[in-house]
């Protein structure tokens, strides 16, 4: 019986009951409206640190194990578009005045490389940092351990494996510097 109880407790933790409540309350809200209400739901039920004026145009998909509630902080006046995926296995720190395009994925969890028997070995998490004023284009993928500098632009559809310097535009797969931007 203790094995079944243990499995049920693990499953309940993985399903993040607080997250399910927030999703349920946000479900009837139309996309692109009630963004401040979504933000307040995420503050109240998830405990995320979300700055004043931050807006979620749709409820993101959250993933991760353990205490995901401590792994997201967003500054003031940041916009998060619809259908974004935030992996909260590690910490995601998003600055103020950031724009995140639709269907963007921010991933913090990865695996150590194992031997030929099992390549995806032990799970590890590496934080992602997105600096103030950055713009992440739609359908971009930001990988674990990446820092996007202040005022940087990640072009739509980019796959970012390496840090992006401040005030730089990157694009492509893998993302490469396209141009330096004015400060």
Report residue 28: phi and psi, to 5°.
Answer: -75, -10
By three-state DSSP, how is residue 82 classified? coil
6 is catalytic: no
Q: Please name the helix (run of DSSP H) or strand (run of DSSP E) that holds residue 93, with its range, or none.
A: strand 92-94
d(C-alpha 129, C-alpha 164), whole Å: 10
d(C-alpha 149, C-alpha 134), whole Å: 7
Residue of 16, 52, 76, 111 marked catalytic: 111
Q: Please name the helix (run of DSSP H) or strand (run of DSSP E) that holds residue 13, with its range, or none.
A: helix 2-15
By three-state DSSP, how is residue 60 classified? coil
Q: Say how many CA atoms lie within 13 Å of 169 toward its Cβ.
A: 10
Q: Which residues are known catalytic residues?
A: 111
């Amino acid at each position: 019986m203790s094995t079944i109880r243990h499995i049920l407790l693990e499953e309940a933790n993985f399903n993040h009951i607080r997250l399910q409540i927030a999703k349920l309350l946000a479900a009837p809200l139309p996309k692109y409206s009630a963004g401040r209400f979504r933000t307040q739901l995420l503050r109240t039920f998830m405990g995320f640190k979300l700055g004043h004026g931050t807006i979620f145009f749709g409820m993101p998909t959250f993933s991760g194990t353990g205490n995901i509630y401590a792994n997201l902080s967003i500054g003031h006046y940041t916009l998060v578009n619809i259908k974004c995926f935030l992996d909260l296995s590690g910490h995601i720190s998003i600055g103020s005045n950031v724009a995140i395009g639709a269907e963007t994925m921010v991933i913090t969890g990865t695996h150590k490389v194992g031997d030929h028997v099992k390549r995806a070995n032990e799970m590890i998490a590496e934080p992602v940092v997105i600096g103030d004023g950055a713009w992440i284009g739609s359908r971009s993928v930001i990988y674990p351990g990446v820092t996007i500098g202040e005022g940087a632009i990640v072009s739509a559809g980019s796959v970012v494996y390496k840090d992006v310097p401040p005030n730089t535009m990157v694009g492509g797969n893998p993302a490469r510097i396209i141009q330096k931007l004015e400060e």
